[in-house]
Amino acid sequence: MKTSPENGPDTDKERIDLVIKLALIALLVAWCAMIILPFVIPVLWGVILAITLFPLYSRLLKLFRGKKGLSSTVITLVMLALIIVPSAWLISSVVENGKDLVNSIRDQTLTIPPPDPKVADWPLIGKPIHALWLSLSTNLEAALLSYHEQIMKAGEKFLGIIKSVGSGLLMMILAVIISGVFMVKSEKSEESALSFASRISGSRGSEFVSMIIITIRNVAKGILGVAVIQFILIGGTLILAKIPFAGLWALAALFLAILQLPVGIIAIPLVIYFYSLMNPLPATLLSVLILAFSLSDNFLKPWLMGKGAPVPMLVIFLGAIGGMMMSGFIGLFTGAIVLSIGYKLAAIWLGERNSDHRDVNGPV
């Protein structure tokens, strides 16, 4: 009885060799992934910033007569200044306001005006707010002692937020530097992206790359851009009006805008504060400004996110929100990109199915 060539010793040896080679390749890929993993988020942010800032880079490239290094350096330095200077101002403002608050409580010089009796008539929340406000205005020390645990928990969360902001700031500084490198190497980066997309999706590779670029820019303008605009407008108004803890209010507005929560949440206590301590005219003017700035995202966001988008604005918006809930801040972009690609693939598939249906059954 002859041994089949398919079951011979040489074939078994080749199979073992193949398994060993595949295992070594998988080990190498996993090892490389573990080495690169700490840099994935900064690199992703660097790509996002490079794509967002590339139109500005192209204009500077013409202005500086094709000097790539100079154009990229100028943008990188300006971006670092825009990140570091406001962050330093905000951190110093928060620290200073926190010290003033602690000192005023310790010295018993902090005074809180009593609430208007009409506050108790507000539906649902009027009575508890009136009771809390009244206890703070009449006996601040006793009220703080009664809410000691809640205050400690809020303080721990606030410190956690500050630490997160600090680490995020360092990451963004690194991402800005990486984006400068990507802009200098923009031609090679584009070729690599197109080559990879063509490998994955064939002739539609360039279409998907273009869609990703537009989606990133629209999310950057429609979510982050609007959040920064509201932060500057609200913070600047409160500073000019000499409102206490203006930096904290502005920071709260920024977080709410990024998290896609209504910025009007902070407008309510501010309006109450205005009318409690100011004359009606300045209180009304400040209230109108704060409310207008808080609601400005309702028309800025649809306009910026839907401008030139290859998919409906709602798809980008839902992808950004869902991605942030799933993956954190970076999910604003990855979620919008993934959902946009999925929507585009579904549209292509449905279009092809409809086309096949028409071909079989004739024109409809």
Per-residue pLDDT tens digits for 287-335: 888 888 888 877 777 777 766 667 787 888 788 888 888 877 777 788 8
Contact partners, residue 104, CB within 8 Å, separation at least 6: 110
Write down the residue that tokens 């206490």 correspond to: 244
Q: Is the pLDDT of residue 1 over 50?
A: no
Task: Say what the pLDDT of residue 26 is.
Answer: 92
Residues 63, 65: Cα–Cα separation, whole Å: 6
Specify if 115 maps to a domain: yes
- Is residue 223 located within the same domain as residue 324? yes
Q: Is the pLDDT of residue 27 over 90?
A: yes
Task: Say what the pLDDT of residue 111 is.
Answer: 64
Task: Say what the pLDDT of residue 142 is.
Answer: 65
Closest among 74, 46, 78, 44 to 176, alpha carbons compared: 46
- Is residue 50 located within the same domain as residue 186? yes
- Is residue 180 located within the same domain as residue 232? no
Q: Which two tokens stand for residue 92?
A: 């110093």
- Is residue 164 located within the same domain as residue 286? no
Task: Say what the pLDDT of residue 206 is.
Answer: 80
Residues 72, 54: Cα–Cα separation, whole Å: 10
Residues 14, 6: Cα–Cα separation, whole Å: 11
Averaged pLDDT, 211-222: 81
- Cα angle: 162, vertex 74, 183; to 5 degrees: 85
- Is residue 177 located within the same domain as residue 217? no
- Is residue 138 located within the same domain as residue 216? no
Q: Is the pLDDT of residue 360 over 50?
A: no
Averaged pLDDT, 229-242: 84
Contact partners, residue 134, CB within 8 Å, separation at least 6: 114, 115
Specify if 337 maps to a domain: yes
Task: Find out whether 71 and 64 touch, Cβ atoms under 8 Å.
Answer: yes
Specify if 1 maps to a domain: no
Domain boundary among 136, 159, 191: 191
How many independent structural domains does the chain possess? 2
Domain boundary among 191, 207, 231: 191
For residue 343, how many other CB atoms are within 10 A of its CB? 19
Q: Report CA-CA distances (Å) from 322 to 55, 221, 258, 259.
A: 28, 18, 13, 11
Task: Find out whether 247 and 90 touch, Cβ atoms under 8 Å.
Answer: yes
Specify if 325 maps to a domain: yes
Q: Each residue of 29-58: pLDDT tens digit?
A: 999 888 888 888 888 888 888 888 888 888
Dihedral pair phi/psi, residue 312, rounded to 5° = -55, 145
- Is residue 183 located within the same domain as residue 207? no
Task: Find out whether 257 and 227 touch, Cβ atoms under 8 Å.
Answer: yes
Give me the domain span that covers residue 324.
199-351
- Is residue 170 located within the same domain as residue 203? no
Averaged pLDDT, 26-30: 92
- Angle between helix 40-63 and helix 331-361 axes, rounded to 10 deg: 80
Closest among 182, 191, 294, 178 to 233, alpha carbons compared: 294
